[in-house]
Structure 1
Amino acid sequence: MPSDNPFDDPLRVRATEILRELTGREDAAFRDGQFDAVAALVRDHKRVLVVQRTGWGKSAVYFVAARLIREGYGAERGPTLIISPLLALMRDQVAAAERAGVRAATINSSNATEWDAVLDSLTAGELDVLLISPERLTNPKFRTNVLDVLLDPARAGVGMIVVDEAHCISDWGHDFRPDYRRIGTLLDGLPAELPVLATTATANSRVVADVAAQLGEDTMVVRGPLSRDSLRLGAAPTATAEHRIGWLVQHLGDFQGSGIIYALTVSAAEDTTRALAEAGWDVASYTGRTDAEERARLERSLKDNEIKALVATSALGMGFDKPDLGFVVHLGAPSSAVAYYQQVGRAGRATDNADVLLLPGNEDPNIWEYFATASMPDEDEAQAVLEALADAGSALSVPALEPLVGVKRSRLELLLKTLQVDGAVDRVQGGFVSTGVPWTYDARRYAAVAEARRTEAEAMLEYEAGRRCRMRFLAETLDDPHARDCGRCDVCAGQWWDSGVSDDSASGARRILSGIGIPVEPRGQWPSGMATIGVPLKGKIPPEERVSAGRAVARFTDLGPGQVLRGFLADGAEDAPVPKNIADWCIRVLKEWDWDERPTVVVGMPGTTRPVTCADLATGLARIGRMTDGGQLSYTRDPGSPDVNSAYRVQNLHGAVHVEPTTAAAVDGQVVMLVDTEIGSRWAMTLAGRELRRAGAHAVLPFALALRG
């Protein structure tokens, strides 16, 4: 008979030792359900779904199990493959793995220059864990060079599959992602005895049942209570953007420690950051437009309490781990109470108290409707894509396909993912091809998903109304049988925040929201791994080679001026001189620009797509501003597409910018305004500005009509 003493179990003894290495605590012990999940994976080779609140320790389960598997418990196998949705999550997981003595690496869009080295370590058996994004599963090079290696039994094979944030698998999950649907196909082709772990903190009963069914009929479900005792929840009445941002400007100091301010759109995040920064708060934006190197720096700044808050979209969400995060504020409500629970769960993991406040906006339902429909394929658009690929007879890249079907780039990329998951197209070297597999629009399924989204939105409005305990409401939305009143939220204990907003705070926010002149922050650091692709740049950009902060008239995503600029600079639009209304905006931006040193010379970027517009903009600004026209830069070779990651964009631009001798003479010792029609990744301005600084320019201030995004 087995002993009743758990520490007579060698597996539990070794698992506890690893747990203590992971946590750095000699008294660490497994929470209820943790070791059960570990044993089911390592000893019984089962498929396990863990649904536990944020901070419970789901990552401890897979790191402990991964190391036990590599040490030969159960059966000797190869490394664990963790499929994880966000870069922030991967960075934290790699760091946690190292603490547990687990050799971990990641392959994602931010470290393309390191892939070969990671693959060498993988094939040499030097890795215990490989973390990838679900998007990697659709990449042909990855499938051939990495996935086939992991799944090859002759090389010990993969030891375990982990699907983090597994609610993304389900159509019914609040954050369903088409790339995640490929995971089910991947699992179907694996041996039944291969252990698989799926984890999430945000799944109601319907999502749990759906994910468990995709894992397999014998899936073990480990589920615990989801309420968070440390959180004090509240929700203010619906208000305008200027009122809410004005309130934050005035009351951000009421919150203890550092935290996250969530916004629903990139523009809202950047406008809020600007308003708070102008009021003296140390904040920064973190959105889908923030590149990988900058994200890592910002995450570290928040974790080290060097800034008061990150103003973020959902790009900063699942997996970001700062145990002492003091507060989470939402400027606008997510479309689902489940999604809201997931985001507020970032706060108060290792503290007794953390504040969570929702500031809903009048525009929220319209934003919800947009995102609810954006992820669903349009039947006519899908058929147009399939016909274009079939007619081409060879692979088409997204840029080549875009003008053939008349679908916007972001929507086209999402549609291609859906068609690929459905088997109608495949991604190969060079782009996408038609597989010839018939595709039928599943109207019933998409209608059901749309209805589920409407129900979720109604639940969010019910949460805002505050008719019952807010924590209990969130837990019950997740079908938590342990839900109870918290006694701390504004419904249970009364309003706990000061709702006053001064006229000065509100008017300052109004000025920023209605104005033009968007700051363009300079790049401060080169992408990592440049030496591996032949570019001798690394670390921080030296001050003497760096551009200064710049300005753009507006973002393409802004209302008003942004939409006018979008039309004027649209692909296929006439390459024309700058019209008077846009020129007037430029003059206004220059007048309001609070530069430290006034520019004296104007230089134009190489006009690769809009040479007439770019040249007219540069000469016009020089004339109006009574500055010297320093001419235009040129490219010595094709700089390639801007639609690549940072490392390869810098590689394409490095050494490609030419400064004419007459321009070099004009900029020597001068403050230069470097002008372009639009700015995307900022790397073109960074590399061109570097060449001007090396030619003698005292400072370089970028200026553009529009910011992309």
Structure 2
Amino acid sequence: MDQHHDTTELRTEADAVLARLVGDPTGRARLREDQWRAVEALVAHRRRALVVQRTGWGKSAVYFVATSLLRARGSGPTVIVSPLLALMRNQVEAAARAGIHARTINSANQEDWETVQAEISAGSVDVLLVSPERLNNPDFRDHVLPALAATTGLLVVDEAHCISDWGHDFRPDYRRLRTMLQELPAGVPVLATTATANARVTADVAEQLGTGAAGADSGALVLRGPLDRESLSLSVLELPDAAHRLAWLADHLDDLPGSGIVYTLTVAAAEEVTAFLRRRGHTVASYTGKTENADRQQAEDDLLHNKVKALIATSALGMGFDKPDLGFVVHLGSPSSPIAYYQQVGRAGRGVDHAEVLLLPGKEDEAIWHYFASLAFPPEETVRRTLDVMAGADRPLSLPALEPLVELRRSRLETMLKVLDVDGAVRRVKGGWIATGRPWAYDTERYAWVARQREAEQEAMRAYATTSGCRMEFLRRQLDDEQAAPCGRCDNCAGARFTADASTGAVEAARSDLGRAGVEVEPRKMWPTGMTAVGVDLKGRIPASEQAGEGRALGRLSDIGWGNRLRPLLAPRSPDGPVPDDVARAVVGVLADWAKGAGGWAPGVERALARPVGVVTVASRSRPQLVGSLGARISEVGRLPLLGSVEYTQDAPPPHRSNSAQRLKALHDSLVVPPALAAALEGAPGPVLLVDDWTETGWTLAVAARLLRRAGAPGVLPLVLAVQA
């Protein structure tokens, strides 16, 4: 009877906290049964729990209610590991409604860190939200984290699928939680939550966090609910091309309920779509990984208060953004994973009876999937070589210092080091990274299995777009929801709600926008750091007398306009051949616009002196016909002499994708200006056009320009078909 009385009293207290949290003045709000089970497990029994429930189910209510009850019983502050700043901002505001004082430590509020740590020490902070990256910051890990672990009353791992590399958003920093879990005093409850985990991810997260499986000896509680979202109506609309998709969106955006999100797969596409929709009279804003923090916050606020019809966003706007009345989510391009897709569409319809979810797949989707798949964990040889370099160093190596010594780009190198850190092979310290010397094994089987799983997920997204069955049931089965059944709401269950109609005017405007050629190519102005360590005596600023000028490209490989035309032309295994007529004509148009622009060929230089006096090509080892014919066509149309090519030496290493330092090292002794070209450049009265097929890092153009400038060219204006951006 006493136990029953205590449970009833605890439930009453929990529901009162919930009422404050959701702003219910009547006090009638009640926790759902599984919410209560989780709260009871955490507060009454100090257990560990893993909660896998659909977006909008109320997972944050569990940890805020549990926090309030635990604090009232003398427990220390709750630590929430949270992956996104948007999520943190929403959670701080939600906590305040329940009388819970929440603070954050993240990359955007460094000026507040000392104050926050003082408040924690004084006991006035109820909830501390930290990003997973903080867990491996040397100062935080070595000085703040141990004290925090010793006093924590509840540890919450939000969006816990990030801990699993089977999941759609794996983050190696999350694995640092193992250390914190090991240092927690006995009896400290732990809660892990996610909305996007299939059975495999759920089991992996449970193992990573030490929560075990349901019924295991650990006594952990796993709560997994049905994943149907009754408010969502799913549809897929196949349209002929990118112009029709843009036109359809411009014609029908105002028909969609309320305000919402339009997801794109790349930053370039988000910016293109935003610009086009604004020109068509829509109030929209762009939101990507390149958006400044202040602009992100403004965009989020504008959407929350319905000041914009939509945010045109990449996956940077994902987990944690909470707008209960979000009326629609449209995907202009298909994500590569049904789990990621479910997570993103889950932003809509939390607090409304009906929300539209629409997928507009594109021909460019698979090329973009392939590009992101190429950024996976490096091969064993590369990892071993990096460990050898670090083992031979007499000091910690920062990322800029290590990058020239290995063949990995900065972002991929950092991710690899984080994984090795978790595995114990390296350690992040003040000043950089060091090798620990501990034995380490490359998990070939696991990485191969992850790659196969990615391929299976891509195939599932193809199947989702073409299925004649229930779309919600399809997604739920992908998430191993045993209760999956036809929803009765999607286009396959209830009939199509949208037609493919797009007005002629909108299609023509979209085609004109997407066909608009010309992208600025910024020249390299600084040599990479650490070049002397690899035997190349280049450092600091590139002298103005050796720099390339601002260049032009026909388009970006990542955009949905010219990118769709250029990707197949420049694909690694595409056959070489003369430049296609439509591409050549578009390049001539780019040159004409360049010449007529406000700054002319070279801003700040007298127009007569800035006009190119000749064409130089970069000798191509993979597409000699394409580059050669492009140079010849430009020479013919522009009535400019074709002066020759910057050539590769006979012993030049084969081209390969790498970081800037390694790319520059390979090019430094590989490119030469032949004597005949050097003679043609002597006394040249103006700059030359430097023609190549595409540029990714910009170093081929920078090295070739330096050689041409040294040979006598007063200026070099790069022109390429595409930039990888």
The alignment's TM-score, normalised by the length of structure 1, stands at 0.74
Paired residues of 2:152 and 2:184 also in contact (CA < 8 A): no
For these two proteins, the number of residue pairs brought into alignment is: 563
Paired residues of 1:553 and 1:586 also in contact (CA < 8 A): no
Paired residues of 2:239 and 2:500 also in contact (CA < 8 A): no
Where 2:462 maps in the other structure, the secondary structure is helix
Q: Which residue of 1 aligns with 2:641?
A: none
Where 2:604 maps in the other structure, the secondary structure is helix
For the pair 1:266 / 2:267, whether they are aligned, the reply is yes
Residues of 2 paired with 1:86 and 1:348: CA distance? 21
Residues of 2 paired with 1:340 and 1:561: CA distance? 24
Structure 1 residues 591 and 71: CA distance shift in structure 2, 3 A: farther
Which of 128, 141, 144 does residue 143 from structure 1 map onto?
Answer: 141
Where 1:619 maps in the other structure, the secondary structure is coil
For the pair 1:588 / 2:593, whether they are aligned, the reply is yes
Which of 575, 589, 604 does residue 619 from structure 1 map onto?
Answer: 604
Where 2:109 maps in the other structure, the secondary structure is helix
Query: Aligned letter for 1:588?
Result: D
Residues of 2 paired with 1:481 and 1:263: CA distance? 31
Q: Which residue of 2 aligns with 1:86?
A: 84
Paired residues of 2:286 and 2:313 also in contact (CA < 8 A): yes
Q: Which residue of 2 aligns with 1:199?
A: 193
The Cα offsets for residues 613-645 of structure 1, whole Å up to 9 and x where unpaired, read as xxx94423777899xxxxxxxxxxxxxxxxxxx
Paired residues of 1:425 and 1:433 also in contact (CA < 8 A): yes
Where 1:358 maps in the other structure, the secondary structure is strand
What aligned pairs does 1:254-403 form with structure 2 within 5 A after superposition? Answer: 254-403=255-404
Structure 1 residues 587 and 351: CA distance shift in structure 2, 3 A: same
Q: Which residue of 1 aligns with 2:173?
A: 179
Which of 170, 176, 196 does residue 164 from structure 2 map onto?
Answer: 170
For the pair 1:418 / 2:412, whether they are aligned, the reply is no
Which of 152, 158, 163 does residue 152 from structure 2 map onto?
Answer: 158
Structure 1 residues 519 and 271: CA distance shift in structure 2, 3 A: farther
What aligned pairs does 1:676-691 form with structure 2 within 5 A after superposition? Answer: none
Query: Aligned letter for 2:185?
Result: P
Paired residues of 1:267 and 1:557 also in contact (CA < 8 A): no
What aligned pairs does 1:555-570 form with structure 2 within 5 A after superposition? Answer: none
For the pair 1:105 / 2:103, whether they are aligned, the reply is yes
Q: Which residue of 2 aligns with 1:216?
A: 211
Q: Which residue of 1 aligns with 2:118?
A: 120
Paired residues of 2:81 and 2:156 also in contact (CA < 8 A): yes
Structure 1 residues 325 and 618: CA distance shift in structure 2, 3 A: same
Where 1:310 maps in the other structure, the secondary structure is strand
Deviation at 1:518, TM superposition (A): 6.6
The alignment's TM-score, normalised by the length of structure 2, stands at 0.72
Deviation at 1:133, TM superposition (A): 1.1
Paired residues of 1:552 and 1:707 also in contact (CA < 8 A): no
Paired residues of 2:239 and 2:245 also in contact (CA < 8 A): no
Paired residues of 1:78 and 1:159 also in contact (CA < 8 A): yes
Where 1:61 maps in the other structure, the secondary structure is helix
Deviation at 1:482, TM superposition (A): 2.1
Paired residues of 2:258 and 2:328 also in contact (CA < 8 A): yes
Deviation at 1:329, TM superposition (A): 0.2
Structure 1 residues 518 and 81: CA distance shift in structure 2, 3 A: farther
Larger-Rg structure: 2
Deviation at 1:265, TM superposition (A): 1.1
Residues of 1 paired with 2:326 and 2:137: CA distance? 36
Residues of 2 paired with 1:112 and 1:556: CA distance? 35
Residues of 1 paired with 2:344 and 2:108: CA distance? 23
Structure 1 residues 501 and 589: CA distance shift in structure 2, 3 A: farther
Q: Which residue of 2 aligns with 1:532?
A: none
Structure 1 residues 513 and 425: CA distance shift in structure 2, 3 A: farther
What aligned pairs does 1:382-461 form with structure 2 within 5 A after superposition? Answer: 382-461=383-462
Deviation at 1:182, TM superposition (A): 2.0
Structure 1 residues 33 and 419: CA distance shift in structure 2, 3 A: same
Structure 1 residues 591 and 147: CA distance shift in structure 2, 3 A: farther
Q: Which residue of 1 aligns with 2:69?
A: 68
Residues of 2 paired with 1:318 and 1:586: CA distance? 43
Structure 1 residues 585 and 180: CA distance shift in structure 2, 3 A: same
Q: Which runs of 5+ in 2 are unaligned?
A: 213-217, 522-550, 568-585, 612-694, 698-719
Q: Which residue of 1 aligns with 2:620?
A: none
Structure 1 residues 251 and 518: CA distance shift in structure 2, 3 A: farther
Q: Which residue of 1 aligns with 2:75?
A: 77
Residues of 2 paired with 1:561 and 1:41: CA distance? 52
Paired residues of 2:518 and 2:555 also in contact (CA < 8 A): no
What aligned pairs does 1:690-709 form with structure 2 within 5 A after superposition? Answer: none
Paired residues of 1:377 and 1:418 also in contact (CA < 8 A): no
What aligned pairs does 1:577-656 form with structure 2 within 5 A after superposition? Answer: 588=593, 591=596, 617-620=602-605
The farther-off stretch of 380-389 and 103-112 is 380-389
The farther-off stretch of 276-285 and 168-177 is 168-177
Where 1:298 maps in the other structure, the secondary structure is helix
Paired residues of 1:239 and 1:362 also in contact (CA < 8 A): no
Structure 1 residues 98 and 555: CA distance shift in structure 2, 3 A: farther
Query: Aligned letter for 1:174?
Result: H
Paired residues of 2:156 and 2:190 also in contact (CA < 8 A): yes
Where 1:261 maps in the other structure, the secondary structure is strand
Residues of 2 paired with 1:51 and 1:590: CA distance? 59
Residues of 2 paired with 1:49 and 1:159: CA distance? 17
Residues of 1 paired with 2:22 and 2:32: CA distance? 13
Q: Which residue of 2 aligns with 1:477?
A: 478
Q: Which residue of 1 aligns with 2:661?
A: none
Identity of aligned residues (%): 52
The Cα offsets for residues 208-246 of structure 1, whole Å up to 9 and x where unpaired, read as 222223333332011211101111110112643222122
Deviation at 1:392, TM superposition (A): 2.2
Query: Aligned letter for 2:69?
Result: L
Query: How large is the RMSD of aligned CA atoms in angstroms?
Result: 3.3
Paired residues of 2:558 and 2:724 also in contact (CA < 8 A): no
Query: Aligned letter for 2:13?
Result: R
Residues of 1 paired with 2:178 and 2:367: CA distance? 33
Q: Which residue of 2 aligns with 1:611?
A: none
Query: Aligned letter for 1:334?
Result: P
Where 2:108 maps in the other structure, the secondary structure is helix
What aligned pairs does 1:226-241 form with structure 2 within 5 A after superposition? Answer: 226-237=227-238, 239-241=240-242
The Cα offsets for residues 255-290 of structure 1, whole Å up to 9 and x where unpaired, read as 121100011111111111111111111111111111
Residues of 1 paired with 2:606 and 2:136: CA distance? 46
Structure 1 residues 556 and 426: CA distance shift in structure 2, 3 A: farther
Deviation at 1:35, TM superposition (A): 1.3
Structure 1 residues 590 and 182: CA distance shift in structure 2, 3 A: farther
The farther-off stretch of 139-148 and 286-295 is 139-148
Residues of 2 paired with 1:243 and 1:374: CA distance? 31
Structure 1 residues 111 and 556: CA distance shift in structure 2, 3 A: farther
Structure 1 residues 558 and 465: CA distance shift in structure 2, 3 A: closer
Residues of 1 paired with 2:133 and 2:419: CA distance? 12
